[in-house]
A and B are shown apart, each in its own frame.
Chain A
Amino acid sequence: MLTTIYACLFYVATVVLVVGFANRIRQFAMTPAPLKIPTMPAPTTKTGVAFRLFREVAFFESLFKSNKWIWVFGWVFHMALAVVLIRHLRYFVHPVPEVLAFVQPFGVLAAFAMVAGLAGLWARRFVVERVRYISRPSDHLMLALLMGIGLSGMMMKFVAHTDIVAVKAFFLGLMRFSIQPIPADPILLVHLTLVAVLMIVFPFSKLVHSAGVFFSPTRNQVDNSREVRHLAPWAAKLEADRAR
């Protein structure tokens, strides 16, 4: 019973995440950007733009210019999350490749860093008046969700170990459509439930910023408006009235 519920939950969550997110990306990609609006100074070549986006995603360049506290917390959280996610790949592949085995010890460190980053970001929502003003309940909930995932995960590592082999069997089973029993361990179930919730809300929440950053015209456009004529399809239609 429990196994069936969780199996269904993860199938649903995966479909919602993939379809929802793909749909969001499709919307972003299909909507034209009729005018050249890169925030200057901007790169004059596509390679330059790729570098700009890379710096934005890898180092949070703009945020660094903006506010060192948010940068520290935000960057630490995201990078730690990335390490943790990579570490979790071991539950989905068999045998575990060496790279993943190598990441293993850092995962623990990253878990602490991730929770610390989240705590910092959350504290700002209370302490800094300006940020308090712009925070909505959903902003707190999102942090709570991530925090819950991080803490429950850490508890399984440091407090109450779970049967990790069985967990892996469950997920490998899901991927092969042969359902294996899930351990009825409360902390694990909390952890997995929160993850599934996160997957489901992902495409409908501000977490789409993960796609948005690549589609932001102020960041992804090349500064070449004088050399190359940029014309959106709907704008081209307006030109029917032009004599010459």
Chain B
Amino acid sequence: MYVTTDPSEAKQIDPLEMPTLCPGAMAASNPWVAGPDHQASCGFPGELVDNWQEKAIEKMGELLGKYRSLKVYLDSCVKCGACTDKCHYFLGTGDPKNMPVARQDLLRKVYRRYFTLAGKWFPSLVGAEDLTEEVLNDWYTYFHQCSQCRRCSVFCPYGIDTAEISMAGREILDHIGKGQKYCNEIIGKVHTIGNNLGLRPNALRSTLEGLEEDIEDDIGVPVKLPLDVKGADILLVTPSADFFAEPHIDGLIGYAKVFHAAGASWTISSFASEAANFGMFIGSYENMRQISLRIRQAALDLGVKRIVFGECGHAWRVAYSFLNTLAGPFDFLDPRYPVPQHICEYTWDLIEQGKLQFDKSKNDHIKLTFHDSCNVARATRMGDMPGGQFEIPRNILKTVCNHYFDMPADTIKEATFCCGGGGGLLTDELMDLRKKGSSPRMKALQTVQQEHGVTHMAAICAICKTQFSKVMPDYGFERDSILSVHQLVSNAIILEAPHDEE
């Protein structure tokens, strides 16, 4: 705000700029509905069931008994309005139903009507409503305009987490046969093939071998990407995007180089070749559990001692916060290490022990900032201290890069803005929503571009990276200005070339 690269272009960019209310602005934004096959693959009815109303209320009742969050949050909101301007989708669209409390109210009004005395006796007084087709459509529309980023929950005096509400909403929709295609198709693929992309073991093997060749051609060091190695120490579970697309793949190369430098014995599993767990997005404990159990199975089958997760936001949430619950206990692993660990924790440990050498100047063409992926920031931790999830990635970046600048304080760390594509919304038919939802983050990025000439942004989430490579060009950045954290590590790390006798 004080120094600008070109004063004539200087304009005040405010990432938190308040939109004017435009009721219905996003009413037409809907993801494709899942077809019968995709529904069936997750254990849901193929199409909207005849008695959907009854089934939906029944499911809601069941969830109210299973999730304290849902019960407490539906009962406790006082409509204070503190959350109303906290959601990036509201800031980006102005649609009042994207205000977190209004999104909750879509479920709350039905809850009140069917489950509370006040709503049964005085519906109009407390805003209770019958579950009509119109309400159902609103559920589908607006529970798919929440990336479950939890920014609202930071600012609510009772910690009301709209993500819990939209997960419950999607769970109900799935159970009456109105699931979302993008998520359910992907979950089906994980159940049958083992990863979101449907990449089969052979394809995965040749991809990894190809990468090994590329790395050796590039730096002359035989860095390995082992697959299904029994008895390896470390099982690496990483989002399948890391196996094929930029900038994800450069991150994977970075992990491989770190493992190589540490002399670690590690492996990827073709059975659990996916860190992502879309079961969370649809609020399905059962699907989330099944997917997590694949990782347990892989760890047992391969006989590893540790599990390390690659760069993925919601995957790290499921891993850090839920894996022990869903697929634990992990008493068969080495008790000296937390289960699971994040690749950033792993790398930072090595850096602190002085085991990695870097040539920082390799990243001198980059002026860098860091996007705190919301799931990592607000739903997990790294290291021993609260807030390690903010410090450790930054520490790594500052170790490998000379020019690092943070975005404005009210847009990072616990107040970070979602990329706009999280929570199962990273699908093309939602592109309009995704672009609008990314605007607070993009504006924050523009402020550091103006102040410090920032050229690139690093992230540790596969969804964020994909999303940013799509939306950054709209804000005057190159597609490849979004980087993996371990891509920067990869650029700067110094590996010993092998001795001649090899």
Contact = CB atoms under 8 A, between A and B. Distances in A.
B404 interface: no
Interface string B137-163: 000000000000010011111111100
A40 B76 contact: no
A82 interface: no
Interface size class on chain A is: 35 or more
A226 B69 contact: no
A227 B118 CA distance: 42
B259 interface: no
Contacts of B311: none
Contact of B105 (A128, A134, A223): A134
A126 B379 CA distance: 35
A131 B75 contact: no
B101 interface: yes
A133 B493 CA distance: 54
Interface string A133-165: 111111101000000000000000000000000
Contacts of B325: 34-36, 225, 229-231, 235
Contact of A40 (B80, B125, B286, B377): B377
Contacts of A14: none
A209 to B, nearest CB: 4
A216 B150 CA distance: 14
B333 to A, nearest CB: 11
A94 interface: no
Nearest to A33: B68
Interface string B157-181: 1111100100000000000000000
Contacts of B127: 136-138
A124 B81 contact: yes
Interface in A10-51: 24, 27-28, 31-37, 39-44
Contacts of A44: 386
A102 interface: no
B497 interface: no
A62 B71 contact: no
Given A39-B159, A56-B157, A134-B84, A217 B68 contact: yes
Given A134-B101, A230-B325, A33 B67 contact: yes
Interface residues of B, number: 72
Interface string B114-140: 001110001011110000000000000
Interface string B84-117: 1110000000001001011001000000000011
A36 B69 CA distance: 11
A223 B125 contact: no
B80 A226 contact: no
B254 to A, nearest CB: 24
B157 A41 contact: no
A204 B118 CA distance: 7
Contacts of A212: 72-73, 75-76, 158
Given A63-B82, A135-B79, A32 B66 contact: yes
A5 interface: no
Interface in A216-234: 216-219, 223, 225-232, 234
B328 interface: yes
B117 A39 contact: no
Contacts of A43: 386
Given A138-B127, A216-B158, A70 B69 contact: no
B322 A225 contact: yes
A219 B75 CA distance: 16
A216 B73 CA distance: 8
A205 B67 CA distance: 20
Contact of A225 (B79, B156, B324): B324
A67 interface: yes
B76 A213 contact: yes
B40 interface: no
B82 A206 contact: no
B147 to A, nearest CB: 16
B418 to A, nearest CB: 15
A215 B324 CA distance: 22
Contacts of A70: 80-82
A225 B164 CA distance: 18
B158 A130 contact: no
B82 to A, nearest CB: 4
Contacts of B285: 34-35, 235, 238
5 contacts: A28-B72, A32-B68, A40-B414, A141-B125, A216-B76
Given A60-B157, A62-B82, 18 more contacts: A31-B64, A31-B66, A42-B381, A63-B82, A66-B156, A74-B157, A121-B80, A133-B96, A134-B101, A205-B126, A209-B76, A212-B73, A212-B158, A213-B159, A217-B68, A238-B285, A238-B289, A244-B300
Interface of A: 24, 27-28, 31-37, 39-44, 56, 60, 62-63, 65-67, 70, 74, 121, 124, 128-131, 133-139, 141, 201, 204-206, 208-209, 211-213, 215-219, 223, 225-232, 234-235, 238, 242, 244
Interface of B: 21, 64-69, 71-73, 75-86, 96, 99, 101-102, 105, 116-118, 122, 124-127, 150, 153-161, 164, 285-286, 289, 293, 300, 320-322, 324-325, 328-329, 338-340, 377-381, 386-387, 389-390, 414-415
The 10 residue pairs across chains A and B that have the minimum distance between CB atoms: A212-B76, A218-B159, A41-B386, A66-B155, A136-B127, A131-B81, A130-B84, A66-B82, A219-B159, A31-B68
